[in-house]
Amino acid sequence: MEGEGTEPDGLSDHMEVDGSSGSWRSGMSENPEGISKLAQAYIYESKKNPVSLVVEYTQRSGMQIKFNCVEKVDERGFQVSAVIDGLNQTGLLCPSKREAKLSCCLFIIDYLIQQGRIQMPVSHGGSNERRNTAAKMQKEMVNQESEVMDATEDRYWSSGSVENHENISKSALAYISESGKNPVSLVMEYMQRVGVQVVFDKCIDKGGFQVSTVVDGVRWSGVVCSSKREAKVSCCRVVIDYLIRQGKIRTRSSCEGGIQLKNSIFEQMESALYSCFDYECSSNSELKASEKVIAGIFMVDAVAAECHLISWATGNKCVQGSALCTNGCTVNDSHAEVLCRRGLLRFLYQQLEVYLRDEQKSIFRKVMGRLTLRPSLTFHLFISTAPCGDGRIFSFSSEDVASGSAHRPEVDKNKGALRTKIECGEGTVPIPGDVHMQTMDGIFGGERLRTMSCSDKILKWNSLGIQGCLLTAFMRPVYLCTLTIGQLFHYGHLSRSVCCRLGDSLKLPLPFKLNHPYLASCTALSSHRAVSRSPTLAVNWNISDGTVEVLNALTGRVNRTGEVSRLCKRAMYECFEAVESKVRRTSADALTDETYLNKKERCKDYINARDCFLKALESNGYGRWLKKPDEEKMFTLNH
């Protein structure tokens, strides 16, 4: 249970958001593996990565070593083992494969030293001197640049100084750490891409070495270091920081690691979102074709003054009727804001898993028997253009009005009606009065597949919460704090479409409410990135999975391979069952005989609120909500 006075001081210090870790040796002073002081001293004096030490030893001795990495899905980590002398040496459970391999090698080095297979240098023959060396290492290791030598190219990488002597930004620190490369290599690679030759100038003074170089006509110098190599690294760290600040290096890490909220939060969100998208496009040009609409959901920590990108997506198409299925394996709606929200759901499920392991590291806390979002945290949605449907059809150009929370909806009898998206096309159409339901045989027989517009779906999120139905089995509703639009922002039409068209007529049971998010416009980047092509590709990313997934919107499956998407109903049901089996302390297999539809119907509080929402739409004359055929949800995980 949550203890008193345990609110987080900062997201990076208290919560497991993306499971990532910093430099490989930031935890050496804690010695979690419990290796001997001799082993610690040997590693420290070698100035090499433990993995390199093990590989070098096996090469010298003619041994062959094979590392076996196992992903612990339930514990969300990796564990690496290797056989030495017939004995299995297994490292600790770590959040990344690299850290897991390093942990395994620490055990191997400790074992080899204990067996006398690795000899300490002669200068460290005395036990007192060895203890002093180990103690010195414990004190200084956190503050030194950890180097891994590449024997063939005489290159190394540095994971970054915890002290950050150069005072570079968090974005630069995260970029260097996640690249796994030496800052010198990163600078050289960038200069090669832009066709610029870089020259490093060295100077020597009484304090040590200092390196500088000229970039964009400005000389950048690192701090004074004890060696030429460290001085060159320091200089390159400063250069990388400059390039990131100038937007010349696009980095996803600046979003995941937290954006310092100094300027407009909406400008920060827009910039971070496009930076992340451009970062992915740099390694996969195919993604660029999906940019017509892009959306992102951010989580703001008011205490730490940081903003974390949780999920983003692109796309503006829906599945074609012939691809609809009854096993939950297709993604029906590949519009950016819809995919983006489904990515958020994966993050929420992951945070439930974190809560079950360690309540203090989760974004949730328990209040009156139900999980709720910590009060310092809020969610924010950015969309590059007005959501399709009622929020866009009357917005022919962006309106230059101030953002705000006091909504001024434009309401008349011709506005506010529910609309559906055009199958395999763009735009929305009103729902015909004679269409009350959709059937599988009708759709397969050629009837148009109708999917509710994004404006209508956001209205639903503002009424019932962005967490959807199944998650209410564990938590209270979660609502958007702000909604930011790039192009085609019109205050009156937007506020009407996403919340105000229901107003006082919507009577929801507690804890549900009609949420009125702060509405904002931000066109600094969106207006300059107009894309005329209408893509069939849709891209999604979320902080829990950490990888990009490219979908074919018309088939609702992964592009080219036809694999099942992590955002489909079936995948979400699997996430739910994984959490429920731990909460109920039952086998997951015992729960999967129940259909997805029945499981949702069991969330009575949400279903009651949903019925009130649908009734209010009809009573106000906005039309009837068209859902997909029930057969589409009547699947189990056993079949």
Least trusted range by pLDDT, from 17-21, 276-280, 347-351, 420-424: 17-21
- Could you give the dihedral angle defined by the CA atoms of residues 537, 278, 455 and 448, in that order, rounded to the nearest 10 degrees? -10
Quick check: helix, strand or coil at residue 636? Answer: coil
Q: How does residue 543 score in pLDDT terms, banded at 50, 70 and 90?
A: very high
Summarize pLDDT for 552-603 with one digit per residue, the tens: 999 999 999 999 999 999 999 999 999 998 887 755 455 568 999 999 999 9
DSSP 557: E
Mean pLDDT on 411-423: 80
Q: What is the DSSP string of 267-311?
A: HHHHHHHHHHHHHHHTT-GGGGGGTTSEEEEEEEETTTTEEEEEE
Q: Phi and psi (nearest 5°) for 115?
A: -85, 0
For residue range 164-209, what is the model confidence (pLDDT) as tens digits? 788 888 778 878 876 667 888 888 878 877 777 788 888 876 678 8
Statement: the pTM of the whole predicted model exceeds 0.75 = no
Residues recognised as catalytic: 337
**Strand runs (DSSP E) across 12-146, as ranges?**
68-72, 77-84, 87-90
pLDDT tens, residue by residue, 274-302: 888 988 888 888 888 788 899 999 999 88
Confidence of residue 533 (pLDDT cuts 50, 70, 90): low
What's the residue count for the chain?
639
Tell me what the mean pLDDT of segment 451-466 comes to: 96
Give the angle 276-489-625 at the CA atoms, nearest 5°: 95
> What is the maximum span of the chain, computed from C-alpha positions, in angstroms?
92
Which one, of 520, 513, 419, 416, lies nearest residue 464 by Cα?
Answer: 513
Q: Which residue has the higher pLDDT, 33 or 185?
A: 185
Average pLDDT over residues 324-337: 94
Mean pLDDT confidence for 371-390: 92
The structural domains of the chain, ordered by start, are: 19-144 (3.30.160.20), 152-256 (3.30.160.20), 264-633 (no CATH)
Rg (CA), the chain: 28
Between residues 343 and 306, the one the model is more confident about: 343
Would you tell me the crossing angle of helices 183-194 and 228-245 to the nearest 10 degrees?
50
d(CA 154, CA 177): 20
- For residue 452, the model assigns a pLDDT of 95
Give the Cα separation of 576 and 488 in Å (integer): 37
Nearest of 491, 346, 464 to residue 404 by alpha carbon: 491
Locate all alpha helices (DSSP H) within 195-227, ordered by sequence: none
CA–CA dist 325, 316 (Å, integer): 20
Long-range residue pairs from 532-536, CB within 8 A, at least 24 positions apart, any chain: 533/289, 533/292, 534/292, 534/316, 534/317, 534/426, 535/289, 535/290, 535/291, 535/292, 535/314, 535/315, 535/316, 535/317, 536/317
Determine what percent of the chain is predicted with pLDDT higher than 90.
34
Note whether 186 and 248 are within 8 A (CB). Answer: no
